[in-house]
Structure 1
Amino acid sequence: MPDPRTTQDDQAALYRALAAGEHRSGGAGRGTVAFAVSTDDVEAGAGDVYVALGLAKYLARRGWGVLLWPTERWETPLPEDVTVVVSMIESFVPGLVPQHVGLVAWVRNWTDVWAEQPWLDEYDAVWTSSTAARDRIAERTERPVRVLPIGVDHELFTGERDGRDDVDVVTTVNFWGAERLGTAAIDVLAESRQVVWYGANREHLVRSGRIEHRGHASFFDLPAVYASARVVVDDVIPPARAYATHNSRLFEGLASGALVVTNCDEGLDELGLEGVPTYEDGPGLVAAVADHDPALVERLRAVVLDRHTYAARAEAADEDLRRAVTARAGRTGADRGAFLVWATTVRKQLRTAEHDRDVHFAGVHDINERLVAAVADAQRAAAETAEARAAVAALTAERDRLAVRLDEVTRSRTYRLAEQVARLAHRR
């Protein structure tokens, strides 16, 4: 593994190498950890991938081999060198994981969905992001459940600037079609503060004209974005707020030296971050952003760097991973039984159907948008044409009226008499 004192480009290259499987062989006989993730494309913007790679980077330093096992490979045999699988996605079904391979679930979000999985007891250990989530999962399984929140790669989010201009307030919340609690609050904040918004689908986000939208930012751009900001606004979705499972943005922004403001005050105390300002609406956000104490920012940053780095997470995870491998050693069987093999196949079919549905809906939506736009253009053109025709008709009518009046005037006795007088005057 490279020396920690590397550039941001070196860190990005390391992440790409980890995603490409270049560190799948460990150096201390620990075995290989496969992370079941949505994709192995580090440019796709999938949060589960960056969390997996953050932990994988520091597990590799502890002697583990690491690799990503993306969705499209879940229905294929697991690589033979894998000794333990960490599931990052609630839709993962472990039917094709051999009996001798350890299984760990990382419940980072969607706690209720995880709790209702009928195969939850297949996991040798479960990690959750909060005590509330741990208690919910523990109701559904006899397996060990540990609180292991997501964290931050402190070697990537260093707080070092790249020369870009200072930003007063920044948010990096993506827009996926549904209005979020923080969206309206940021509108209110923009009335009095400079707000820069990085996020996907900005073209569909109709917001205040005072907000500067800069579009999607790559994960590897975020360290500089946060380091340039005075305040970072976080927005935790309702399923996460229900169990106080906080976003990576909380840890990454604080590690970068910015003050993070969030709409979820639950769970901050158990993270040691009880000083983080919170909001529930626009006026609350305005007040929270105004409460900027440099000493508080430095204290919160110190807590994150001490307790919430992926180096610390890897140290805690190492024990569970080794225990899972040991517990499964010697077991036989190429899969987890007929039911889970069947469930794996059904889940693939459902996932394909969901994808096809989304593609179909996207196509229909696109056609509908173009149709609506075409109708609007036609109506506008028709209205413009009708207006132009009306103007021409009005002018024509006025011309004809004046022509008739002119004819009437020139034929009148008064006009003819005046014309004769004018001729006589001209002859003189």
Structure 2
Amino acid sequence: MPEQHMTADAGQAALYRALADGEHRSGPRGTIAFAVSTDDVDAGAGDLYVALGLAKYLQRLGWGVCTWPTDRWDTAVPEDVTVVVSMIESFVPGLVPAQTPVVAWVRNWTEVWAGLPYLDQFDAVWASSSAARDRVAESYTGPTRVLPIGVDLELFTGRRPDPDVGRIDVLTTVNFWGAERSGTAALDVLAESREVVWYGANREHLPRSARIDHRGRASFFELPAVYAAASVVVDDVIPPARAYATHNSRLYEGLASGALVVTNCADGLEELGLADVPTYTDGPSLVAAVGDFDHSLVDRLRAVVVERHSYASRATAADTNLRTVVDEHRAQPRPDRGPLLVWATHLQERLRKAEHDRDVHMAGVHEINERLLSALAAVEDGGRTIAARTVERDAAIAERDLLATRLDEVTRSRAYRLAHRVGKLRRRG
């Protein structure tokens, strides 16, 4: 990967780590705990970066901020937490103190959020679009408001690299998690006529055109330089997000960095003031969308993002709402969460851990199978004795069978089966 595109802002990275580690936990307005998937800023978890982007500016308004990652969800939230903001639909608030209000931030997976049987346990809902807000309001009677995600303008500044460094023509930063995305085939078509650079996780598993320059994952703190080097950024919004026009961070970050962002989700752009963002549905329309464009369009779109979609402005709106939620909760306290919700919280975490164990063992089985195939192939090659290679093969078979047995034990356990059934019922709503 070219080093000039991978410069990270060490100062901002240190600040994000300090926020994640709870070094800014105290503030005169109280403490906000963000329920997130992880507190590891190097893990590539989008929910954490959104939480920390908002937290950074809420802290400047007088709030103390901290994270409450999944490995703590099976323990009680501390009594001194003023309010919890849940970033994840699987967070069950059974272990949140009765005096602590909880806000749900519906950034994606709107249907799942709307179907939660414990949705009424949240004191307020923020949604990333009007469509998402309206869907949640069909099954939630509490206060809802639109609060899209945004961009940290102190990170994504729009500073361009040295002109002698070289530029990226077309860029995407979509990660590959095993499922084919709608934009992938379109990028293949685009690569026939434009130079496409792809930064993203799991590039080794992408059976894509050799014309695309796959460079692996860029860290969150390297993305500002990556976007600043690009002329065009191609976004790919997943179907559950497109259904409710809940746009990706990539839209705001790319535009803030001075690139033209092209997306496959036209809905919701007008609501954001970004109706002029080009859109595509397939390869030919993507080719047309990234064609020659008026650079004044990029300037206009960036100006909208700077004016309306920074985390500084999001924090101002969130601050007002959070203070209202806290005041109303104090004026009319909720009863205790109740034993059923506490039980559901513990059961959810047992399910999460059981599924994690299953995934770990499944990955182990796949790895051993690959080693087994290599050992079998080696028997046919020259080199060491067949007996030595046979020993390696037999060891690989034994290790694979041991992992497979453990995987079977995990998935057949009473705890896993019960938790899995409850999880399926919850998702069906």
Q: Same fold (TM over 0.5)?
A: yes
Q: Secondary structure in 2 aligned to 1:196?
A: strand
- Note if 1:135 corresponds to 2:160: no
Cα gap change, 1:328/1:366 in structure 2, threshold over 3 Å: closer, same or farther?
same
Partner of 1:151: 150
Give the number of equivalent residue pairs: 374
> Contact 2:86 / 2:105 at 8 angstroms: preserved in 1?
yes
Partner of 1:11: 12
Distance in 2 between residues matched to 1:117 and 1:380, nearest whole Å: 57
Partner of 1:424: none
- Structure 1 residue 378: deviation in Å? 5.5
Report 1:184-263 matches (<5 A).
Answer: 184-263=185-264
Report 1:319-334 matches (<5 A).
Answer: 319-329=320-330
Report 1:25-424 matches (<5 A).
Answer: 25-26=26-27, 29-163=28-162, 164-329=165-330, 336-375=337-376
- Structure 1 residue 320: deviation in Å? 1.6
Partner of 1:411: none
Q: Secondary structure in 1 aligned to 2:94?
A: coil
Deviates more, 1:64-73 or 1:356-365: 356-365
- Please give the root-mean-square deviation of Cα atoms over the aligned residues, in Å: 1.8
The one-letter code of the counterpart of 1:48 is D
> Contact 2:30 / 2:63 at 8 angstroms: preserved in 1?
yes
Cα gap change, 1:143/1:334 in structure 2, threshold over 3 Å: closer, same or farther?
closer
> Contact 2:79 / 2:97 at 8 angstroms: preserved in 1?
no
The one-letter code of the counterpart of 2:195 is Q
Partner of 1:406: none
- Structure 1 residue 12: deviation in Å? 1.5
Distance in 2 between residues matched to 1:62 and 1:329, nearest whole Å: 21
- Report Cα offsets for 1:219-244 as digits up to 9, x if no partner: 00000000010000100011101111
- Structure 1 residue 370: deviation in Å? 3.1
The one-letter code of the counterpart of 1:42 is V
Cα gap change, 1:375/1:266 in structure 2, threshold over 3 Å: closer, same or farther?
farther
- Structure 1 residue 366: deviation in Å? 1.8
- Structure 1 residue 293: deviation in Å? 1.7
The one-letter code of the counterpart of 1:119 is Y
Q: Secondary structure in 1 aligned to 2:267?
A: coil
Distance in 2 between residues matched to 1:284 and 1:376, nearest whole Å: 46
- Structure 1 residue 319: deviation in Å? 1.6
- Structure 1 residue 374: deviation in Å? 4.5
- Structure 1 residue 197: deviation in Å? 0.6
- Report Cα offsets for 1:301-334 as digits up to 9, x if no partner: 0000111111111111112211121122277799
Structure whose alpha-carbon radius of gyration is higher: 1
- Structure 1 residue 180: deviation in Å? 0.4
Unpaired stretches in structure 2, ≥5 consecutive residues:
1-7, 383-429
Question: Which ranges of 4 or more aligned residues in structure 1 deviate by more than 6 Å?
Answer: 330-334
The one-letter code of the counterpart of 2:37 is S
Partner of 2:3: none
- Structure 1 residue 372: deviation in Å? 4.0
- Report Cα offsets for 1:76-130 as digits up to 9, x if no partner: 1212321000000000000010111111000000001101111111111100111
The one-letter code of the counterpart of 1:75 is D
Deviates more, 1:45-54 or 1:321-330: 321-330
Distance in 1 between residues matched to 2:52 and 2:348, nearest whole Å: 25
Deviates more, 1:240-249 or 1:204-213: 204-213
The one-letter code of the counterpart of 1:107 is V
Cα gap change, 1:9/1:162 in structure 2, threshold over 3 Å: closer, same or farther?
farther
> Contact 2:93 / 2:345 at 8 angstroms: preserved in 1?
yes
> Contact 2:198 / 2:215 at 8 angstroms: preserved in 1?
yes
Cα gap change, 1:321/1:332 in structure 2, threshold over 3 Å: closer, same or farther?
closer
- Structure 1 residue 210: deviation in Å? 1.1
> Contact 1:277 / 1:291 at 8 angstroms: preserved in 2?
no
> Contact 1:90 / 1:114 at 8 angstroms: preserved in 2?
yes
Unpaired stretches in structure 1, ≥5 consecutive residues:
1-6, 382-428
Distance in 2 between residues matched to 1:186 and 1:127, nearest whole Å: 33
Partner of 1:388: none
Cα gap change, 1:370/1:336 in structure 2, threshold over 3 Å: closer, same or farther?
same
- Structure 1 residue 72: deviation in Å? 0.5
Distance in 2 between residues matched to 1:328 and 1:358, nearest whole Å: 40
> Contact 1:132 / 1:244 at 8 angstroms: preserved in 2?
yes
Distance in 2 between residues matched to 1:257 and 1:198, nearest whole Å: 18
Partner of 2:395: none
Q: What's the TM-score, normalizing by structure 1?
A: 0.84
Distance in 2 between residues matched to 1:239 and 1:232, nearest whole Å: 21
Distance in 2 between residues matched to 1:334 and 1:43, nearest whole Å: 39
Cα gap change, 1:39/1:334 in structure 2, threshold over 3 Å: closer, same or farther?
farther
